[in-house]
Amino acid sequence: MKIKLFLTDVDGVLTDAGMYYTEAGDELKKFNTRDGMGLKLLRDLGIKTGIITTENTKLVERRAAKLKVDHLVQGAYPKVNAAMEICNKEGILISETAYIGDDVNCIELLEIVGLAACPADAVKKVKDIPGILILEKNGGEGVVREFADLIMEKFL
């Protein structure tokens, strides 16, 4: 299988699933810089990249811009619809798509992509998906980079 599109969730994958708030109400999230390099390396190989999240924040919009992902879909529910729209726009089959997610709102998409993965600390229902790759790292610890490296080693 050749992967042509790499999609990721945000909370619990690109972050540790924590949401931090300042006294003024500003939301903060910790991202891992190695994930950004993983996305860049995939893009350099001609693989399209994207973020699909049910959240809708300026913070994620800024992170996506810094990462230079090809697609950002916020407020996506169900996520599978957003992924299919990206595939149609790019002329890529869902079977040529890799996706990493960690929670129940990711299950439908994880079940239909060509290559599905989750962080080590994903919820049990996600880990129980037949064929899913349960990675070694937790969300926010560079798990997207781990998945990207695996794709570059075995699925190109």
- Range 6-27 average pLDDT: 96
How far, in Å, CA of 69 to CA of 10, rounded?
13
Position 19, amino acid: M
Distances (CA, A) of 83 to 30, 41, 52, 72: 25, 21, 8, 10
Is the confidence at residue 1, as pLDDT, over 90? no
Query: In which residue are the tokens 């798990």 written?
Result: 143
pLDDT class of 155 with cuts at 50, 70, 90: confident
Task: Give the pLDDT confidence score for residue 64 in this predicted structure.
Answer: 98
Beta strand 133-134 with 115-118 is parallel
Task: Give the pLDDT confidence score for residue 104 in this predicted structure.
Answer: 98
Ramachandran class of 27: left when φ > 0, alpha when ψ lies in -120 to 50, beta otherwise: beta
Which CATH architecture describes the domain 5-154?
3-Layer(aba) Sandwich (3.40)
pTM for this predicted structure = 0.97
- Range 130-140 average pLDDT: 98
Mean pLDDT of the chain: 97
Give the tens place of pLDDT for each residue, 32-58: 999 999 999 999 999 999 999 999 999
Is the confidence at residue 11, as pLDDT, over 90? yes
Can you give the chain as a three-state secondary structure string?
A: CCCCEEEECCCCCCCCCCCEECCCCCEECCCCHHHHHHHHHHHHCCCEEEEECCCCCHHHHHHHHHHCCCEEECCCCCHHHHHHHHHHHHCCCHHHEEEECCCHHHHHHHHHCCEEEECCCCCHHHHCCCCCEECCCCCCCCHHHHHHHHHHHHCC
Task: Give the pLDDT confidence score for residue 156 in this predicted structure.
Answer: 80
